[in-house]
Structure formats: structure tokens, C-alpha cells
Amino acid sequence: MSSSNGPARSGSIDPFSNAEVYYGTEDNIKTFKSRGRAFSVVSSHRLCDEASGQPRKFLIEVEETLQSLLKQEDTDSNMQITIEDVGPKVLSVGTAASSGYNRVDVRGTYMLSNLLQELTIAKDYGRKHIILDEARLSENPVARLSRLIKNSFWKALTRRIDGHNIEVAGKDPKDWTDDPRPRIYIPPGAPEQFDYYSQIAKDHPELRLDVQLLPAPITPDYVMQLNDKPGLLALAMQKKLNEATGKEEMVGVPFVVPGGRFNELYGWDSYMESLGLLVSDRVDLAKGMVVNFCFEIKHYGKILNANRSYYLTRSQPPFLTDMALRVYERIKTEPDSKEFLRNAVLAGIKEYHSVWACAPRLDPVTGLSRYRPEGWGVPPETEPSHFVHILTPYAEKHGMTFEQFVRAYNTRAIVEPELDDYFMHDRGVRESGHDTSYRLEGVCANLATVDLNSLLYKYEVDIARIIRVHFNDKLAIPVEFRTPLTKDIEFESSAAWDRRARKRKQTMDKLLWNAEKGMYFDYDTEKKERKEYETATTFWAMWAGLASPQQAAIMTEKALPRFEAFGGLVSGTEESRGAVGLDRPNRQWDYPYGWAPQQMLAWTAFLRYGYQEEAERLAYKWVYMITKAFVDFNGVVVEKYDVTRPIDPHRVDAEYGNQGTDFKGAPREGFGWVNASYVYGLEILNAHMRRSLGTITPYETYHKAVVAQDAF
């Protein structure tokens, strides 16, 4: 059946369609309204059922049902329906086939929370009445979350920077100055962007857009001066034909943001997101982020922590070569794929030489690298009160107010060596991506960490392979991709990169490897000693292929049991973290918290060495934990989890809490790398495992059933 204005909802639309399709028309509602009493008041008891044999659909008045549902079931008034609400957990709704006369019950937390989500989204689309498929409420939770991630969450997290959104993108919630306004900094190598944004500022004075041209070179002194004028850093743009006007215009290359308070192009978040984007067939977005990273390296000298002015001296864990290779494998039949790979490897080579293999990050004695960014002073992106406990004694020492001391210290009018060391390590922790952890606090800038050096080993072997396999073992290096240390190198071959990789492995095996404990540990380059903090980043050595088969076997036997918990891997062991309390609070990158990057890299690591069972078990636990929270807590998907908590793992009582919990009615975006870990993890699991997850079966129960079945 169809209407003259479009397809009829009752018969032609997939019940699992995207929201814009599913709630895109009300035409078919007219059919049911013409039958008489189409909409009846919601009641909490069952009047009758249907026996039509057809998939059931409900005829619902959106606002009335939404308010009744919340009043009855949202007993803690947080605009969510969870297992913690104490309502009757049953709501009667009218069937579409009976024009609302016959009623059936929607029961249980999961279906009622899905009803809340659907009504919330329908209201967002301006719908007053809907026909809702029961299948959409009872949908297999694994299928539902996968569908939301692929069809809704990625879209909600996608950004681009150009004239269409600069007013919003240019504003910074971390701008603590007296006159926050949209501001964008343009690198000197992109004059067309400077002209483009200057014209926008001229044509739209109401935006108050401040367009600034960066100098060359960009120094720590200059970056410090920008603290009073924080702004967005321009990213890659491309020319496209505007079909409406027939004219060519500049548009931003799209990228995916982490979500929540993190609304820019972030470094290692983007790599983790790309793993999920590729699984979701959003190769375009993964490719776009590689293009943006190459732009950052070319114009800013590094992949930035994020594209804000106060991050100009700070990078993040480097993953570009692996990211580019994964994208290349998906686009290699396209005409520009070879050039894409060339630009990526050239950018990776420049980043390696100019960021990680030179001062201040390179330790000249060991040849290993550290998270040790340039700069000084108080990180401007933090809230003013964040360092009060650290800075107040110094302010009192100099007879100044807190604000006076911060300004004097940041401008170097006052020099405090101990404070310089404190913030050097603080910047290192932030660059590491593991902010914060007792593993790194007060020492990070001195550590040759297992994670960073594993990643650089991966760069070395990747670059060697790309040059050898794709560029006939001779890659020309244009001048713009050379550094002061490599200014005379016109060509690169694989041999030099192979040597670097071998040397790094030898040094790491000597200084970082502990065979007795079966782990790689961080190495303190100042004290010349191996640290003893047990960190899940030890498995990054396996991910990179640095560990020998014998080392991988020892790590699987000895290290894995130290980190494995109910919901996957903890970031570090409880023993290493030590006691916590009022004077020593939890840190979010320590026990008992688990993060998507640690899980995904570990799964890939174990698969690389043939440990299929371990990879599947860890992936199952992580995906189960996410699914269970999603079912019990109104579709929640958060930044990080307490992997030791079976009931409410999304509750994290550390530092700023969690991102992704504070939504009304329906989740809109999840969280970038957790979205990725979910769809990536499902790819690792077999069909039996995925079916078990759909019935919310814990790993232990699943495993016992498999063992019992195999016994027959």
C-alpha cells in the first residue's frame, strides 16, 4: 500500500531503517486516523492482543506517550529508564492494526528504554504520531547497538571545518579568557585558506571571526603568547563543485571526533576510530583523517594532540603508518591510492625525524624516545582551578595572588625549576594519551615507555615495507618533507629503516624486557633503571610485532592473567597502582579501569601471534560488558569502563568522571573509540559467540556451555 506522497510506513519501510528514513513521513498515519479512534490514552494494563500473525506495529501519540512513560517508569527523574528505576516496568500501547483499540504490553527495562529512545528521536524529527514496529523495541541488542554505531553515531560524531560551521567549530569551551570568540589560525603554507576565512570574516561581521596567520617557524615562545587568544587550527580542505550554484568552493575534509567534551580532531583517538570506521564501511572518513594528519604534519610539524592552538607543541601516540596502510588496502584500486600512500609515508617519515627521533623526546644515550613535549607553564586548556593545590604555595612564597603568580610564571617573569619539572612531566602525561596515571605522574618525560617505543618500531617496519613493496625500494623525499637533520637526504630506502627497527628491538629487549615476569616495562632514562609498574601497554610490543614468538608465549602465559578481568583488560594491575583514598585518589588510566585502545591493540596482538582463543575471550568480555550496560542503562556507551564491575561498569569515579552518560532520552553519539571497539570486536568473534552476546550471556556461562557441548 502506498500514498501519493510517498511510501506507506505500514508495509514498505524496514523496521530497522535509519531514523531519518523511519521517521521521515507521516503520510501513512492518515490511513489509521480515518478509521476512527486512532489514538487512545496510554494505560498500564493489557486490554487485548492480536492474532494476525503479522509483525506487530503500534500506533502511538508521541508526546502523550513520552510523558506517560517518563512519569511512570523514570522514577529517578534523569530522563532515562534503567534497571535502577523502580516503576512497574510495563506499559500498554495500542496496536496499529486495530487503530489503537486493542492494546498490548511493552515489558521490561530494555524494551521500555528502547521505547523512550524511539519516542525521543521521533520528537526530534517533529513527529506527533508514529507507527512503531515492535521489532524495533525487541531488537537483538548486539544488532541494535551495531546499527546505531554504523548508521547514527558515526554521523553524529563527524565534523568538517569550513565556512558553513566555523561559528560553532571556532568556539572553544576551554577558552577561559575574558572575550571568548570564534578564532582560527592558518599555517603560512596554506594562503588560500587565509584568503578564504578572511573573506568569510569580512562577509559576516556578526560572527566576530578572528582569522590569524601563524608564523614560521612555530616556537614554544610563540605558542605561549597564544594563551590569551586560543583558537582552532585549520585542517585540510578540498575544492568541490557546489551543485546548487554550479561553482567550485572549498570544503573541509571530514573527520570523526571522540565525543562529549572532546570535539576536535584528536590524535590516537582517530586511529582507534578508524578501525571501527573501516569495519563500518566508512572508508571515506578513515581516509579523511589520514589526509588531515598529513596536513598537520606538513604545516604544524606533528600530529597534534588536537587541533587547538594550545596543542601546537604537543603530539599523541603515533599510529599514522598502520592507519594509512589499513586505508590503502581498502582503496588500492582507486586512481589516487598510490599518491595517498606516498603522502602518508612521507608525512610519517617527517614526523618520525622531526618529533620522535630528535631532542627533546629522543634520549641520546639509549636511542629510545619519550613523551617529552616542548613548552612550559600551566596547560591553558585546563580549568583555572585545576592546579590550585600545586601553585598556591608558590604564589604565597612570592607574595602574589594565584592569578598574579600564574601570569608571572607563564611569562617567565618568575622561574621555579621544581615547578618547571612538574609541568614538563604533566605535558608528557598529556602527550602520552594516558592522562592521568600513577605510572606516569611526576616521571613521564623521563620514561622510555614500552608503548611509545613499540609504536616507533611499528613505524620503522611499516616504512621499510612500504618503501620496499610499493616504491621499488627508492622513495624520493621532497624538500617540504625533510627536516633540519635530514635536509640532505633526497631518497629513502628500506635498509636504513630495517636497521633502525632491529636496533630498537635490541635496546628494548635489553632495557625494558623482564623474562621472569613476562612483560616489557618502562625505562627511566634519568635514573637508568627499569620501572616496575605493570601496564597493559606491554602488549603493544606484540601488536607491533616486536616481541619474538618465545616472548609472546611468555607474555600470554605470565602477563595476561595479571590484567584480565570480568570485562577485559585493566589498564594496570592493582598491585602497581597501590592504595587509593582521599589523599591519593583514583586515576582514570589505572586499575580498575579499562579503555578501548588497550583492548583493541591486545586483540590484534594475540591474533598476530596465533592466540585466537585468547583474542576471542578478551573481545567477548569487552563486548559483553558494553552490551550489558547498553541494555540495562538506556543505551549508554561511554568513554571508559570499570572492567571489574559486572553490574554498572560505566560508572567511573575518577577525575572528571565519564563521557557519554549525560544524555536525555536517547544516546546520540556513544563515544568514538568505544563505538569502534564494539564493531571491531564483533569481527573477531565467531557466529556462536555473537549469538550468545545477543542473549546477554556472560563469558563464563558461554564457555561452560561450549565445554559441555564438546564433551559429548
What residues are labeled active site?
A: 435, 639
C-alpha dihedral sign at 494, 497, 503, 508: negative
- Are the CB atoms for 342 and 309 separated by under 8 Å? no
As a whole number of angstroms, the distance between CA 153 and CA 155 comes to 5
As a whole number of angstroms, the distance between CA 43 and CA 102 comes to 12
- Are the CB atoms for 692 and 702 separated by under 8 Å? yes
Beta bridge pairs of residue 94: 103
User: Which residues are CB-neighbours of 531 under 8 A, at least 6 positions away?
Assistant: 439, 443, 447, 521, 522, 523, 524
Question: In this structure, how many other beta carbons lie within 10 angstroms of the beta carbon of residue 72?
Answer: 18
As a whole number of angstroms, the distance between CA 177 and CA 311 comes to 17
As a whole number of angstroms, the distance between CA 613 and CA 610 comes to 9
CA 665 remoteness from chain centre: 22
Grid coordinates representing 474 are 627508492
As a whole number of angstroms, the distance between CA 440 and CA 429 comes to 6
Grid coordinates representing 581 are 583514598
User: Which residues are CB-neighbours of 303 under 8 A, at least 6 positions away?
Assistant: 267, 293, 296, 297, 315, 316, 318, 320, 351
* Amino acid identity, position 333: T
Q: Compute φ and ψ for 91, nearest 5 degrees.
A: -140, 135
Q: Measured between alpha carbons, how far is residue 562 from residues 363, 558, 660 in Å? A: 30, 7, 29
DSSP codes of every residue in 604-652: HHHHHTT-HHHHHHHHHHHHHHHHHHHHHBTT---SEEETT-SS-TT--
Grid coordinates representing 49 are 492482543
- Closest Cα partner for 157 from 60, 256, 73? 256
Grid-cell match 600545586, residue found: 390
- Closest Cα partner for 547 from 602, 599, 622? 602
DSSP codes of every residue in 499-555: HHHHHHHHHHHHHTEETTTTEE--EETTTTEE----BGGGGHHHHTT-S-HHHHHHI
Grid coordinates representing 24 are 521521515
Question: In this structure, how many other beta carbons lie within 10 angstroms of the beta carbon of residue 66?
Answer: 20
